[in-house]
Amino acid sequence: MEKVMTVDPGFANHRKIEAILGETGTNIFNNEIAKIPVSTPDWRKEVVIDHIYTRVMLDFCKVVGVKTLEESLLDRNGHLFCSIVKTRRCKDVYDSDRATIECEPFEGSDLDVELHLTTSRIRGSTLKWKLHEGGEFAVIGQFSQLNEGTLVYEPLVIGLPYLADAETGNLLWERNTDFFHLHLEQFDEFAKLRDFDIPDTFDVMKNIKEPVFKACLGKILSESTPKDWGGETSDFYTSHLHIDGKRVPAAFALKGPAKFSPMNLSHLGKNSDQIVCLSKEPAEILIIQHCHDILPVVEETLKVFATQPSNPRRYCLIDGRESLRLLNAYNLTEWALNESKR
């Protein structure tokens, strides 16, 4: 069964959504709402309508390329955002008519972010309790104001991200976001890795140049590896990877030993722009490879961009040990070392 991300909304601001989508959006909503059986109980009808508004708004975000919150913070531009957002505890959802929900800070930005909303619009008691406790939520937000270093957004949609059956759309009630995190051996083309242990050390990777590692990927996948150029959004793009027999186009960002140290966001360009660029590729899998360790902040940032609710993709990290394991499995280590000496 193929799984996809879906959003179970507990908050949907119909008025603001219709204001953004205009007459075309209003016609879509009217047509979809008209399909709801007359016998549907009122409480159920409200839930279905919230799902309709959420689904259409997510489709809109995908079509027009609405940014993640993190990208909006990095380039300080964007009227709307669509992201999985981490929030802090908020007692206001029970104690006030208007709640101020603080978002966890994003490394690389000096701006704070708050979500301001009317608590009576929160339909689900589960969502209200989770907002009270803090956690991860799928949010579509509209910019309201910049107030002394704090960006204030008014949510259009807040919901809980779940996995669903891609064929039926039925919720699977799984919130394990590790589903989106892939490991190398899950790709059919890298299946040999299953017979090789992760090496104890990866010191040899400091002697293997980035273009040579890319050439090794090309050898394994039997495809060419063009030289880098200034306008690229990834270092290597392939449509020849498969998972369980299904083709999955993938985009790679590769980092060689120019900085042979654990990867943090500074390895990925000013303002982490290499992750931003990677996320713009028309790929189903986003992959970061590094010759050394990869720090958690990189994984968290890649995860944010990959699992955008309007365009969720899967992601993979290949650190120094996994890189060497891959070369060993396909008998390319010696070739890579010799080629890197040229």
Q: Which of 116, 145, 175 is the last residue of a domain?
A: 175
Q: What is the CA radius of gyration of the chain?
A: 22
Mean per-residue pLDDT over the chain, rounded: 91
- Compute the distance between CA of residue 169 and CA of residue 336 in angstroms, rounded to an integer: 46
Q: Which of 120, 147, 175 is the last residue of a domain?
A: 175
Q: Which two tokens stand for residue 64?
A: 């027009």
What are the average pLDDT values for consecutive 10-residue runs of the chain, which has 342 residues? 85 95 94 94 92 95 93 86 95 92 87 93 90 95 91 95 80 72 95 92 94 95 78 86 94 91 87 85 95 94 92 95 96 94 86
Are 18 and 152 in a shared domain?
yes
Are 27 and 126 in a shared domain?
yes
Are 183 and 170 in a shared domain?
no
Are 246 and 221 in a shared domain?
yes
How confident is the model at residue 229, as a pLDDT? 64
Q: What is the pLDDT of residues 183-222, one digit of tens each?
A: 999 999 999 999 999 999 999 999 999 999 999 999 999 9
Whole-number Cα distances in Å, 145 to 134, 151, 322: 23, 6, 45
Are 141 and 209 in a shared domain?
no
How confident is the model at residue 271, as a pLDDT? 64
How confident is the model at residue 214, as a pLDDT? 95
Are 225 and 304 in a shared domain?
yes
| Biggest distance spanned by C-alpha atoms of the chain | 75
With DSSP H G I counted as helix, E B as strand and the rest as coil, what are the percentages for the chain, rounded to 5? Answer: 40, 25, 30
User: Is 0.85 surpassed by the pTM of this model?
Assistant: yes
Are 158 and 89 in a shared domain?
yes
User: Total domain count for the chain?
Assistant: 2
Q: What is the pLDDT of residues 268-296, one digit of tens each?
A: 876 668 898 899 999 999 999 999 999 99
Are 214 and 130 in a shared domain?
no
Are 150 and 224 in a shared domain?
no
The one-character DSSP state at 143 is E
Its domain, for residue 10, covers: 3-175
- Compute the distance between CA of residue 30 and CA of residue 61 in angstroms, rounded to an integer: 20
Q: Which of 175, 193, 223 is the last residue of a domain?
A: 175
For 269, other C-beta atoms within 10 Å of its C-beta total 13
Are 183 and 171 in a shared domain?
no
- Compute the distance between CA of residue 25 and CA of residue 51 in angstroms, rounded to an integer: 14
Which domain CATH number covers 157? 2.40.50
Are 209 and 284 in a shared domain?
yes
Are 234 and 287 in a shared domain?
yes
